[in-house]
A and B are shown apart, each in its own frame.
Chain A
Amino acid sequence: MYRVVRAEWLSETVRLLEVEAPRIARAAQPGQFLIVRLGERSERLPLTIADFDRDRGTVTIIFLTAGHSTQDLALLDVGGQIRDVVGPLGNHLEIGRIGAVVCVGGGVGVPALYPKAKALRAAGNRVISIIGARSADLLVLEEEMRALSHETYITTDDGSKGVKGLVTVELERLLRGSDPIDLVIGVGPVPMMKAIADTTRPYGVKTLVSLNPIMVDGTGMCGSCRVTVGGEVKFACVDGPIFDAHEVDFDELMARQRRFEPLERDLAGQGAHACHLEESLR
């Protein structure tokens, strides 16, 4: 069992949990993920490690309560227990002196972007952040991103904060500007990452994305998370999750994200669901 030591709502639908997992905290590097399984009957859910504290022996996960698994997880409060936490998994981001890095995060991609931006800043890079959401109340980690960035730009779909429009509007503006950009890192929903790749491609700027396809084991054993990158089949869990955005077949990835959609609807409509959860937490 892994104990929750801090729990916060970052917005109405975005939950932060800091969890005791000393071994994972000790080994974790920015860009890696972990897998949680809340109770005996729960799925294995991969989540980016949003932060880790080696001294406290904790890891932080931040997630959007979208499906049943994340809704159940969000019910946990301080003192709550997660049955299984395994990690750190995947490769970490290679951090070095790169120069000017634009970090682009959309919605719940921002927490996954945060540890990468933080490490890039600590390594002496110029960090320019663009964070977006559907509306102002859904923006998360704005203060944290501002604190570590040299420049921060906000976009919202409805214009309730910052520039009205998608993150790519601001990204395009920066790419057109006179300041050189050495690297773009994008994390967010798959269509957004595809749009980021399409935006930077004509400028020839190296662009990385962090993918989160459907997984089971997270150790390269099952191949559920396979993605086509540069014409080759890669497993996001062990070959990624960070890939060259210009090489990723996003259309295939979007189709694969719908593999279990019909069944997920069955689960969402299942009345007895909450009871199972309570039972498994006992």
Chain B
Amino acid sequence: MTKAAKRPPRQPMPEQDARERVGNFDEVALGLDEEAAVREASRCLQCKKPTCMAGCPVEIDIPAFILAIKERDFARAAAILKDKNNLPAVCGRVCPQETQCEQVCVLAKKGEPVAIGRLERFAADWEAAHGSATAQPAPSTGQRVAVIGSGPGGLTAAGDLAKMGHRVTVFEAFHDTGGVLRYGIPEFRLPKAIVDREVEYVKSLGVEIELNTVIGKTLTIDDLFASGFRAVFIASGAGAPVFLGIPGENLNGVYSANEFLTRANLMKAYRFPEYETPIWVGKRAAVVGGGNVAMDSARTALRLGAGQVTVVYRRSEREMPARAEEIEHAREEGVAFQFLTNPTRVLGDERGWVRAMECLRMELGEPDDSGRRRPVPVAGSEFTLDADTVIIAVGNAANPLVSSSTPDLETNRWGNIVADPETGATSRPGVFAGGDIVTGAATVIEAMGAGKRAARAIDQYLRQHHAPQT
């Protein structure tokens, strides 16, 4: 037997059947069982110079946790994850591993990288099911740090700062924690019980979370400093929907993806009327956009009873920013795609409700700033797509609530806070920022990476500028 033949194939993720899952909001991916996980872990080469780790924004010791799984020491695997990653059960589900750790796995050269994400999820879920040692609180420095936003960036920074012994309070504008993990990503991709669990872990490190507190309205950053906080980390997210700016966008039946998903996820409108927030979906939904948020919106619309859901994207499938896995899931569930198509007008009936969307066909021209080929309209190609529900998922802009209420906080021309990419330091001493509010809409793991780097920088700042409080 050759050496290569001994290596088992990449273990597939068991999933709910597509026909069944469009009728429920339960998680689609079911997770590897113990045997599959150990088999998958055995595929890892345990490279002496692991390339995978360079692909991980939160610096997980990937070969070490995989080795622990291979040796069936699942508690150790989870502990290794949590040493660097406060939210492993989240990352194991929503990280785009194919463009991060798995992309640079040595086995990827032969097309089948180790399923690092599936293993991360396995270890995190195993720990949740079996209980584990609680976190060791670090000796207190007595220094108070405020974190704005309880999304992935905020929770990561808060957890790391608490591990360093600082007293952290997270201020959340919503009535529940998690930011985009709660309001944006649907239950069928990231069950909210998992978010609850990860938040509980961060709280177990000593982090306090204050809900219903809008920084910029209820309190300002100046108020925070005045009340004894020594440093502030802004992780408020992107949080302002972008519309297309075409006629008819205010017709009834047109939602921003933010509104649509917030109603469904945070407010649990998919369980209306048991939960009292309504969400209206007609028979034919059109989702505009090509990212993960568009896929989430399309799949949510299907589950809410839209018989026909079409994703309308102005470039071709190759340029879609959504994860391949999510596009595939959407397709399996029956979502249709209209590529190289750009809406020009939403058409309404006499009562102010959407009845159709007028679109133009596009073709790809020269590459633009993003390196992707720019879509250009094909003259005279107008056509009408019937739709009674339209969901606009073309991205988010910076929400100005924090920056506009904070003097001397520098922002760029898009309203994003200007921050050092390595430290998160802003133009205001003691104020750090990271995640979507700095970079514009990106991924959960990039926000977490920014939170991690900022926590380190804040710790250093506090050591330099403030003597420990005993």
Query: Interface residues, chain A, CB within 8 Å of chain B?
Result: 23-24, 27, 37, 41-44, 68-69, 83-89, 216-217, 219-224, 226-228, 233, 238, 252, 255-256, 258-260, 262-264, 266-267, 270, 273, 276
Contacts and interface: CB of A to CB of B under 8 A. Distances in A.
Contacts of A37: 175
B256 to A, nearest CB: 4
Contacts of B352: 252, 255-256, 258
A217 B273 contact: no
A259 B276 contact: no
Given A27-B217, A88-B217, A233-B243, A217 B262 contact: yes
A263 B241 contact: no
Contacts of B86: none
Given A221-B258, A255-B351, A23 B273 contact: no
A216 B212 contact: no
Contacts of B259: 216, 222-224
Closest 4 CB pairs of A and B: A255-B352, A222-B259, A263-B278, A84-B175
A23 B220 CA distance: 11
Given A84-B175, A216-B259, A255-B252, A267 B218 contact: no
B250 interface: yes
Contacts of B212: 84-86
B214 A68 contact: no
A88 B218 contact: yes
B274 interface: yes
Contacts of A222: 241, 256, 258-259, 262
Nearest to A226: B250
Contact of B280 (A43, A44, A87, A263): A263
A155 B48 CA distance: 85
A256 B252 contact: yes
A41 B275 CA distance: 5
Contacts of A89: 214, 217
Contact of A259 (B214, B217, B280, B401): B280
Interface string B203-218: 0000000011110011
Nearest to B392: A223
Nearest to B404: A238
Contacts of A42: 276
B217 A264 contact: no
Interface of B: 173-175, 211-214, 217-219, 239-241, 243, 249-253, 255-256, 258-259, 262-263, 267-268, 272-280, 351-352, 399-401
A256 B354 CA distance: 12
B301 to A, nearest CB: 15
A70 B277 CA distance: 13
27 contacts: A23-B213, A23-B219, A27-B219, A37-B175, A43-B267, A43-B277, A83-B175, A86-B175, A87-B218, A216-B267, A216-B277, A220-B239, A221-B239, A222-B262, A223-B241, A226-B250, A233-B250, A238-B401, A252-B250, A255-B251, A255-B351, A256-B250, A256-B252, A258-B252, A259-B253, A260-B280, A270-B273
A227 B249 CA distance: 11
A223 to B, nearest CB: 4
A8 B64 CA distance: 64
Contacts of A217: 173-174, 262
B256 A260 contact: no
A166 to B, nearest CB: 25
Given A89-B214, A219-B401, A223-B243, 4 more contacts: A43-B267, A86-B214, A217-B173, A227-B250
Nearest to B260: A222
B350 to A, nearest CB: 10
A256 B275 CA distance: 22
A106 to B, nearest CB: 23
A219 B241 CA distance: 11
A24 B218 contact: yes
A221 B399 contact: yes
Contacts of A86: 173, 175, 212-214, 218
Contact of B273 (A84, A88, A266): A266
A264 B269 CA distance: 12
B273 A233 contact: no
A266 B272 CA distance: 9
Contacts of B240: 220-221
Contacts of A233: 243, 249-250
A41 B241 contact: no
A260 to B, nearest CB: 4
A72 to B, nearest CB: 9
A68 B272 CA distance: 13
A281 to B, nearest CB: 14
Given A222-B241, A255-B351, A216 B214 contact: no
